[in-house]
Amino acid sequence: MIGEVLKAMRKTKNFKQSDISEMTNIPQNTISQYETGKIQPTFEIIEKIASSCDYKIIFKNKKTKEEFKTEEIKRKI
Protein backbone atom coordinates (compact mmCIF):
# COMPACT_ATOMS: atom_id res chain seq x y z
CA MET A 1 0.00 0.00 0.00
CA ILE A 2 2.68 2.55 0.94
CA GLY A 3 4.46 1.81 -2.34
CA GLU A 4 1.35 2.83 -4.25
CA VAL A 5 1.17 6.07 -2.26
CA LEU A 6 4.82 6.87 -2.93
CA LYS A 7 4.33 6.22 -6.63
CA ALA A 8 1.19 8.38 -6.75
CA MET A 9 2.99 11.27 -5.03
CA ARG A 10 5.88 10.99 -7.47
CA LYS A 11 3.60 10.90 -10.48
CA THR A 12 1.61 13.98 -9.37
CA LYS A 13 4.86 15.93 -9.75
CA ASN A 14 5.73 14.20 -13.04
CA PHE A 15 8.94 12.93 -11.48
CA LYS A 16 10.74 9.81 -12.64
CA GLN A 17 12.18 7.38 -10.14
CA SER A 18 15.60 8.70 -11.14
CA ASP A 19 14.50 12.23 -10.15
CA ILE A 20 13.49 11.07 -6.67
CA SER A 21 16.73 9.12 -6.45
CA GLU A 22 18.78 12.25 -7.16
CA MET A 23 16.80 14.39 -4.70
CA THR A 24 16.93 11.89 -1.85
CA ASN A 25 20.19 10.02 -2.47
CA ILE A 26 18.22 6.77 -2.43
CA PRO A 27 19.23 4.39 -5.24
CA GLN A 28 16.69 4.21 -8.08
CA ASN A 29 16.37 0.44 -7.79
CA THR A 30 15.46 0.90 -4.11
CA ILE A 31 12.76 3.44 -5.06
CA SER A 32 11.43 0.88 -7.54
CA GLN A 33 11.35 -1.82 -4.86
CA TYR A 34 9.46 0.50 -2.48
CA GLU A 35 6.89 1.24 -5.17
CA THR A 36 6.36 -2.41 -6.08
CA GLY A 37 6.19 -3.52 -2.44
CA LYS A 38 9.25 -5.76 -2.63
CA ILE A 39 10.76 -3.91 0.34
CA GLN A 40 9.23 -1.57 2.89
CA PRO A 41 10.69 1.89 3.52
CA THR A 42 11.24 3.25 7.00
CA PHE A 43 9.08 6.13 8.17
CA GLU A 44 12.04 8.47 7.72
CA ILE A 45 12.40 7.39 4.08
CA ILE A 46 8.67 7.87 3.48
CA GLU A 47 8.97 11.38 4.92
CA LYS A 48 12.01 12.12 2.75
CA ILE A 49 10.27 11.02 -0.45
CA ALA A 50 7.04 12.84 0.48
CA SER A 51 8.97 16.03 1.18
CA SER A 52 10.75 15.76 -2.17
CA CYS A 53 7.32 15.67 -3.82
CA ASP A 54 6.12 18.68 -1.76
CA TYR A 55 3.91 16.60 0.55
CA LYS A 56 3.94 16.49 4.31
CA ILE A 57 2.67 13.75 6.56
CA ILE A 58 -0.20 14.66 8.86
CA PHE A 59 -1.99 12.35 11.28
CA LYS A 60 -5.60 13.37 11.87
CA ASN A 61 -7.80 12.13 14.69
CA LYS A 62 -11.03 10.88 13.13
CA LYS A 63 -13.17 11.92 16.08
CA THR A 64 -11.68 15.20 17.24
CA LYS A 65 -10.14 16.27 13.90
CA GLU A 66 -7.00 17.19 15.83
CA GLU A 67 -3.91 17.10 13.61
CA PHE A 68 -0.39 16.00 14.40
CA LYS A 69 2.29 17.02 11.91
CA THR A 70 5.57 15.17 11.76
CA GLU A 71 7.59 18.34 11.26
CA GLU A 72 6.51 19.44 14.74
CA ILE A 73 8.63 16.69 16.26
CA LYS A 74 12.09 17.64 17.40
CA ARG A 75 14.36 14.78 16.34
CA LYS A 76 17.69 13.92 17.86
CA ILE A 77 20.43 13.72 15.27
Q: CATH no. for residue 45?
A: 1.10.260.40
Burial of 10 (0-12, 13-18, 19+ CB in 10 A): buried
Q: Is 77 domain-assigned?
A: no
For residue 9, give Cα distances in angstroms to 14, 20, 73: 9, 11, 23
Q: What number of other Cβ atoms are within 10 A of residue 21's Cβ? A: 18
72: pLDDT strictly greater than 80: no
Residue 76 confidence (pLDDT): 46
Q: Domain count of the chain?
A: 1
pLDDT band, very low/low/confident/very high, at 12 (cuts 50, 70, 90): very high
Asked if residue 23 is part of any domain, the answer here is yes
| Assigned domain for 50 exists | yes
Q: What's the chain's average pLDDT? A: 91
* Full domain range(s) for residue 10: 2-72
pTM: 0.83
